[in-house]
Amino acid sequence: MKNIDISFITINYNSSSFTIKLIESIISQTKDLNFEIIVVDNASEKEDFSTLKNFTKNISNLKLIENNINSGFASGNMLGVNYVSGKYYFFINNDCLLLNNTAGILKNFLDNNDDVALVTAKVLDDKKNFSSSYKQFPHVLKQLFGNSIQRFFSKNKFPSNKIKLNKNSQVEVISGSCMFFRADIFCDIGGFDTIFFLYCEEEDISKKVWDIGKKVYFIPEAEVYHKSGGSTSQNILMEREFYISYYHLLNKHFNVFERVLLKIALFFKLFFRVFKKKNGLAIFLSMLKGFPKKESLRYKQKLIKKEENNVI
């Protein structure tokens, strides 16, 4: 059996048209590499799954995993990891397209930089502008006094997402839509925290990389198009889900004093949004309850009974 250089892992949820285009871009743009594609279907509707199944059935290096429940981003990707064998894992949103030999460029960088464990490409939007390639981890000083004050006092001068980098650069957090990992490091740090359902996984996983003394990099030569929102709709449930994940992130990575300060800052932010945003009051009331995990969309999902083998 040939060695696999790269394992692409993506999740489909009622958006097979996006997934098919992503697969086509992977096949057309990935040059001179042995790769496999793992698609985890997160309990899509029957028609959407059938469309995807019919398209993928003759692609020899692709596995379609049929999940019986929508387990979200982190758990869906961790399910896919069970079926991979590559030296590198490329987690990519299904509403993305590779615009050049993205995987080859990212692999080459990691091959030549042993101190780096996680990289991302330049993520572009519909107008070919920078989208969300990188950002900063939440910081107490930043939340209370702004980015400039935080950067002045910080030992690590990570760029904010407002700075348009044009060279290979260390960044603090990369986009969850495009994450290229050393497989051994990903496994050593335990992969994604499956308590996160849809949001904040990238902050958590990037922090875990830094915590073991490895680096995270942005590589602008590699390019990806991201059509944000391809398989989720933006509404009050999604907004609340973000804050449920954000609270989990704070509780996981900050001490008691820092958590209190960050939550106070969020309190005032959401309080003033009550008068400005359509969903402001509902989100504020949820915050007063502490954004309980029991309100997560994770617990709203239904198990779908399957009659056939779930690996295709």
In whole angstroms, how far apart are CA 8 and each of 64, 94, 103, 164? 12, 11, 9, 27
C-alpha to C-alpha distance for 286 and 281, rounded to whole angstroms: 9
152: three-class secondary structure by DSSP? helix
Give the max Cα distance, the chain.
Answer: 61
User: Domain extents for the chain?
Assistant: 6-226, 236-300
C-alpha to C-alpha distance for 171 and 137, rounded to whole angstroms: 10
Q: Which two tokens stand for residue 64?
A: 């379609």
C-alpha dihedral (154, 208, 84, 69), degrees to nearest 10:
-110
Q: Which of 228, 224, 21, 31 is nearest to 120 (CA)?
A: 224
The answer to whether 159 and 216 are in contact (CB under 8 A) is no
CB burial of residue 284 (10 Å; 0-12, 13-18, 19+) = middle
Mean pLDDT, the chain, as a whole number? 90
3-state secondary structure labels for all residues of 252-300: HHCCHHHHHHHHHHHHHHHHHHCCCCCCHHHHHHHHHCCCCHHHCHHHH
Torsion over CA: 18, 105, 206, 287 (sign): negative
pLDDT in tens, 61-86: 999 999 999 999 999 999 999 999 99
119: three-class secondary structure by DSSP? strand
Q: Which two tokens stand for residue 44?
A: 């899509």
CATH architecture of 6-226: Alpha-Beta Complex (3.90)
Buried b / exposed e across 48-78, counting CB within 10 Å, b at 16+?
bbebbeebbeeeeebbbbbbeebbbbbbbbb
Phi, psi of 7 (to 5 degrees): -110, 110
C-alpha to C-alpha distance for 209 and 118, rounded to whole angstroms: 8
pLDDT of residue 311: 63
Q: Mark out the alpha helices in the chain (DSSP H runs).
A: 16-29, 46-56, 72-81, 102-111, 140-145, 147-153, 183-188, 201-211, 236-253, 256-273, 280-288
C-alpha to C-alpha distance for 49 and 64, rounded to whole angstroms: 10
pLDDT by residue for the chain (312 residues), tens only, comes to 579 999 999 999 999 999 999 999 999 999 999 999 999 999 999 999 999 999 999 999 999 999 999 999 999 999 999 999 999 999 999 999 999 999 999 999 999 999 999 999 999 988 777 767 898 898 887 776 666 655 555 556 677 777 888 999 999 999 999 999 999 999 999 999 999 999 999 999 999 999 999 999 999 999 999 986 544 555 889 999 999 999 999 999 999 999 999 999 999 999 999 988 888 999 999 999 999 999 999 998 888 876 555 666
pLDDT of residue 229: 53
